Amino acid sequence: MGPQETKLLQRKEYLSQLIVWREKHLIKVLTGVRRCGKSTMLQLYREYLKKQGVQERQIISINLEDLANEHLLDYRALHQHVKGLLQDDCFTYVFIDEVQQCKGFEKAVDSLFINEQVDLYITGSNAYLLSSELATLLSGRYVEIQMLPLSFAEYLDFTSTEQVSRMTAFTRYLNHGSFPSVPMLGQDDSVVRTYVEGIYASILIKDVAQRKAITDVALLERIVRFLGSSIGSPISAKKICDTLTSSGRKVSINTVDAYLEALQESYCFYKVDRYDIKGRNFLKTLGKYYIVDLGLRNHLLCNRESDIGHQLENIVYLELRRRGYKVSIGKLADKEVNFVAQNAEGITYLQVSASLLDQTTLKRELAPLQAIGDNYPKLLLSLDEIGAGSNHEGIQQKNLLDWLVQ
């Protein structure tokens, strides 16, 4: 492993979460899209444990996507294998990667959890891992650590040795995406594109089509492309149906709903519901979808750059999730606020625009925030250096890149 890769893999915030939950009698569940770094994160954590004096015999590590472990894809075999390696005189740290590959894995996990001397860590690339059945079985006995590809701050940290401006780095971040291995591939677009294409194929086939027994992969791909081209725009299953029907491909709303659910379960897309700011309730219609990585989107759409505003929204949405916010789209009469971000400390309202130098644009973007009657923080983010730091009667204008690395 070269020095760049070692640096890339230091996901300090995720590592600190694992350390906090060490030896707590809870199952640690790492979830996230394929190739976002879950397996590497566990590898780093195991290295940390060894530095803390944990012996090799105390660590059991199994990757269920490794053909060498094919015999463990039955939950009974998995349970017996792990049970035979447990230590009697000390904690045993058990790591099971891509656990959803094992049919009935929840039974093995539940049985291993009973042993108070077992510290159990599992990963999965599909939200089925925490489906209602498993959540019910393990209610109150697990903690989920949701992983995403690299934040811009992490990306900058990796590329800090390069003599490029922050804006150049951000442009690469937008175009190539943020999967942890991407910065190691250099700046050859064709190399990056080939790598991202491989990730896309793995997600589509392994985590969506196979998991949901979808045979019409062509239809699935058309829906993926539709979502990718519509990030930041109101979407409904009916709208997708109508679009496909008008192009000669008739499909039912139930089928589209099932495919949308599968794409969310694979952590490929995230649906964001609308929130009535005045009524303080969620609306059931016309949510928006954001993709887990813009590199995937650019692979699908051949680097469309005309909608930079929606791409920036996508970046901000993912960053808010990384920071632990629950995120929704704000609705206020005929106005819309890009994001309503809520955590234990309260609410933050955010509006995102590529540029605010034009006064008409500035006025338009300020209007939804000005219409909100409460005193929670309100942010206006853009790529502009000019105007950053301005205060518009309580609405803070900030440079987006500054906000991303703060």
Is the model more confident about 388 or about 5? 388
What proportion of the chain, given as a percentage, has pLDDT over 90?
79
Q: What separation, in Å, do the N-terminal and C-terminal C-alpha atoms of the chain show?
A: 30
Rounded Cα distance between 49 and 25, Å, is 17
Rounded Cα distance between 364 and 63, Å, is 51
Q: Where are the beta strands (DSSP E) in 32-187?
A: 59-63, 92-97, 118-124, 142-146
Q: How far is CA 248 from the centre of its chain?
A: 33
Domains of the chain (ranges, CATH numbers)? 3-146 (3.40.50.300), 305-406 (3.40.1350)
pLDDT for the residue 301:
87
Task: Give, for 237, the enclosing helix (H) or strand (E).
Answer: helix 237-246
**What are φ and ψ of residue 145, in 5° steps?**
-115, 110
355 closest CA partner among 388, 379, 402? 388
pLDDT mean across residues, the chain: 91
> 171-188: per-residue pLDDT in tens?
999 999 999 999 889 889
In the structure, what pLDDT confidence band is assigned to residue 125 with cuts at 50, 70 and 90?
A: confident
Task: Give just the sign of the alpha carbon dihedral 79, 80, 84, 88.
Answer: positive
Mean pLDDT on 334-356? 96
Mean pLDDT on 152-170? 87
DSSP state letters, 156-197 = HHHTTTS---HHHHHHHHHHH---TTGGGG-S-HHHHHHHHH
pLDDT for the residue 304:
57
Which of helix, strand or coil describes residue 360? Answer: helix
> 54-93: per-residue pLDDT in tens?
999 999 999 999 999 999 999 999 999 999 999 999 999 9
Rounded Cα distance between 117 and 92, Å, is 6
Q: Which long-range contacts (CB under 8 A, 24 or more apart) does 331-334 make?
A: 331/274, 331/275, 331/276, 331/277, 331/283, 332/276, 332/277, 332/278, 332/368, 332/371, 332/372, 333/278, 333/371
Least confident of 108-122, 257-271, 302-316, 364-378: 302-316
The pTM of this model reads 0.92
Burial 29-49 (b: 16+ CB within 10 A, else e): bbbbbbbbbbbbbbbbbbeeb
pLDDT at 142 over 80: yes
> 13-63: per-residue pLDDT in tens?
999 999 999 999 999 999 999 999 999 999 999 999 999 999 999 999 999
pLDDT for the residue 4:
41
Q: Which long-range contacts (CB under 8 A, 24 or more apart) does 163-168 make?
A: 166/401, 167/383, 167/401
Rounded CA Rg of the chain:
22
| Count of other CB atoms within 10 angstroms of residue 292 | 26
> 298-307: per-residue pLDDT in tens?
888 875 556 8
pLDDT for the residue 186:
86
Task: Give just the sign of the alpha carbon dihedral 286, 290, 296, 299.
Answer: positive
In the structure, what pLDDT confidence band is assigned to residue 220 with cuts at 50, 70 and 90?
A: very high
pLDDT for the residue 305:
55
> 106-124: per-residue pLDDT in tens?
889 989 999 999 999 999 8
Q: Give, in degrees to the nearest 5, the angle at Cα 190 between 157 and 231.
A: 70
pLDDT at 157 over 50: yes
Mean pLDDT on 265-294? 91
pLDDT for the residue 313:
98
In the structure, what pLDDT confidence band is assigned to residue 130 with cuts at 50, 70 and 90?
A: confident
Q: Are strands 378-382 and 346-352 parallel, antiparallel or unpaired?
A: parallel
**Cβ-contact 372, 337 below 8 angstroms:** yes
**Burial of 210 (C-beta count, 10 Å sphere; 0-12/13-18/19+):** exposed
pLDDT at 140 over 80: no
pLDDT at 281 over 90: no
Burial 157-167 (b: 16+ CB within 10 A, else e): bbbeeeeeeee
> 284-302: per-residue pLDDT in tens?
788 999 999 999 998 888 7
Crossing angle (nearest 10°) for helices 294-301 and 189-202: 100
Query: Which amino acid, residue 76?
Result: R
